[in-house]
């Protein structure tokens, strides 16, 4: 741990020195996802638009809107403003009053949306055009600054092979329509972005990387969910590097590889925004007393936590709650650091969590600056200690640290 801290300090000071030479540096993007279901978490977990600190990010992406019959639509009952109530869309967009440079985009899709509606929309030029036209008017009337395509994923999960090529056509059509509309109405052009997979197998099936990179303003690499309860073995949610013992496809599941993969296939690194997760994926260990390192046997997901209430998934503030909060039972608790992968994990009784903290994020941000990437994206605002109640480091300790490291 000490050796590591010294190395990190050296790395960071080198970074500070070199960045002060290149006066100003690039205009890094800091993309924050807002989730419209965070409002349903109980008590201190409840997340509303007013909980966002609008100075943390350059862009907020509102997740998720939905696609239905080639139309972009609101998903939640209270997204839209009604005569008797200001909707969540407007409450997020209102943050621009506090940060006029802020851009707010709407994301369409998401994991649970699947690929069915996407497939139907992509299926014909007429359907794609219908979506494009309607999306522009939907976004403009609600004062969004752009659209983020979160279809997970073309060519996988029931989506046809051809959807890879049709997705390119969709990006092209949207971009051209956005350019024309902006010129005609003398407005700032709507932004077009996508959230994309970091798994090499999925990337091959889903994207014509070089082509979509030409049409998209930036690309949000979802460089997390590499490992989770579905693996039946402990593994980190978002390792920066591989472990030496990993073989074959498993060894490709690291952030560094995913980003280089996008580069090799023709995505300019400056357009690639590196996704960072401020949450953990958790497991229940099979032999907690003996095997609790990486690649230990598990029996399913970790227990649902108090606020996120989902098996196998906990917010960073819930990790803090375990680390610093009151503990009733005399359960064993220990934080470990994986040197190879540059990430921490927490073992609490028979529960195992791979998460990110200031240290692992420092490594990732250092690495992304060195690689010339366009900035970071974070999933998601509601997963950091947004109230500053659990980690003893003020509000948004992780995102604040990510900013400090990126902009220093």
Ligand X SMILES: *[C@@H]1O[C@H](CO)[C@@H](O)[C@H](O)[C@H]1NC(C)=O
Would you count residue 232 as binding ligand X (CB under 6 A)?
yes
Q: Helix, strand, coil shares of the chain as percentages rounded to 5?
A: 40, 20, 40
Q: Which token pair is 224?
A: 């997390």
Task: Report how far residue 126's alpha carbon sits from residue 108's, in angstroms, rounded to the nearest whole number.
Answer: 19
Each residue 45-84 as x (binds ligand X by CB under 6 A) or -, in order, gives: ------------------------xx--------------
Binding test (CB under 6 A) with ligand X, winner from 156, 256, 338, 360: 256
338 counts as binding ligand X under rule CB under 6 A: no
Using the minimum distance from each CB to ligand X, give the nearer residue, 76 or 340. Answer: 340
Q: What is the DSSP track for 149-182? A: EE-S-TTSTT--TTHHHHHHHHHHHHHHHHHHHH
Q: Are 267 and 303 in contact (CB under 8 A)?
A: no
Using CB under 6 A as the binding rule, whether residue 156 contacts ligand X is answered as no
Residue 231 engages ligand X in binding (rule: CB under 6 A): yes
With CA atoms as reference, report the closest residue to 275 among 185, 172, 364, 392: 364
What CA–CA distance (Å, rounded) separates 230 from 298? 10
Indicate the burial class of 290 (C-beta count within 10 angstroms; 0-12, 13-18, 19 or more): exposed
Among 50, 80, 117, 152, which one carries the catalytic annotation?
Answer: 152
| Interacting span for ligand X (CB under 6 A) from 8-16, 54-62, 75-83, 117-125 | 117-125
How many beta carbons lie within 10 A of that of residue 178, not counting itself?
22
Using the rule CB under 6 A, give the single segment among 10-18, 30-38, 91-99, 254-262 that binds ligand X.
Answer: 254-262
Provide the 3-class DSSP secondary structure of residue 300.
Answer: strand
Minimum gap (Å) between residue 335 Cβ and ligand X: 22
Q: In whole angstroms, what is the distance from residue 165 CA to residue 309 CA?
A: 38
**Smallest distance from the beta carbon of 240 to ligand X, in angstroms?**
8
* Residue 120 in contact with ligand X, rule: CB under 6 A: yes
Residue 134 within binding range of ligand X, rule CB under 6 A: no
**Using only C-alpha atoms, what is the Rg of the chain?**
21
Contact pick of 20, 55, 124, 176 for ligand X (by CB under 6 A): 124
- How buried is residue 93: exposed, middle or buried, by Cβ count under 10 Å (0-12/13-18/19+)? buried
CB nearer to ligand X: give 57 or 72.
72
In the complex with ligand X, the residue whose CB is nearer, 87 or 239, is 239
Q: What is the DSSP letter of 85?
A: B
80 catalytic per annotation: no
241 contacts ligand X (rule: CB under 6 A): yes
Answer for which of 58, 252, 270, 295 binds ligand X (CB under 6 A) is 252
- Residues in the site for ligand X, rule: CB under 6 A? 69-70, 120, 123-124, 127, 231-232, 241-242, 251-252, 254, 256-257
Catalytic residues: 152
């Amino acid at each position: 741990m000490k050796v590591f801290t010294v190395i990190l300090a050296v790395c960071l000071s080198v970074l500070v020195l070199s960045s002060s030479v290149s006066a100003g540096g690039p205009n890094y993007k800091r993309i924050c996802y807002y989730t419209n279901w965070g409002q349903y978490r109980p008590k201190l977990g409840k997340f509303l638009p007013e909980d966002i600190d609008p100075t943390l990010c350059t862009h907020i992406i509102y997740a998720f809107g939905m696609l239905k019959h080639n139309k972009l639509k609101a998903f939640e009952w209270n997204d839209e403003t009604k005569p008797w109530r200001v909707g969540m869309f407007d409450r997020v967009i209102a943050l621009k009053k506090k940060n006029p440079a802020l851009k707010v985009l709407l994301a369409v899709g998401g994991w649970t949306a699947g690929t069915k509606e996407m497939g139907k929309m992509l299926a014909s030029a007429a359907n794609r055009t219908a979506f494009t036209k309607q999306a522009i008017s939907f976004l403009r009337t609600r004062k969004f600054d752009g659209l983020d395509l979160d279809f997970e994923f073309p060519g996988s999960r029931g989506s046809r092979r051809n959807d890879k090529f049709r997705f390119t056509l969709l990006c092209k059509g949207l971009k051209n329509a956005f350019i024309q509309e902006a010129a005609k109405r003398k407005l700032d052009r709507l932004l077009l972005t996508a959230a994309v997979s970091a798994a090499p197998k999925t990337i091959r099936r889903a994207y014509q990387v070089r082509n979509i990179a030409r049409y998209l303003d930036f690309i949000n690499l979802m460089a997390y969910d590499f490992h989770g309860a579905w693996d039946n073995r402990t593994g980190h949610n978002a390792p920066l590097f591989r472990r030496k013992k990993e073989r074959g496809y498993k060894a490709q599941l690291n952030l560094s590889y995913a980003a280089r993969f996008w580069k090799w296939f023709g995505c300019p690194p400056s357009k690639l925004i590196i996704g960072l997760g401020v949450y953990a994926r958790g497991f229940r260990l099979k032999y907690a007393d003996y095997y609790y390192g990486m690649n230990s046997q598990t029996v399913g997901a970790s227990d649902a936590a108090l606020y996120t209430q989902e098996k196998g998934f906990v917010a960073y503030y819930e990790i803090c709650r375990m680390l610093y909060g009151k503990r009733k039972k005399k359960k064993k608790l220990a934080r470990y650091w994986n040197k190879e992968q540059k990430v921490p994990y927490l073992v609490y009784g028979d529960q195992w969590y791979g998460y990110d903290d200031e240290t692992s994020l420092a490594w990732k941000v250092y690495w992304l600056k060195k690689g010339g990437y366009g900035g970071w994206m974070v999933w998601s605002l509601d997963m950091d200690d947004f109230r500053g109640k659990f980690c003893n480091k003020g509000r948004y300790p992780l995102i604040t640290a990510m900013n400090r490291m990126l902009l220093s």
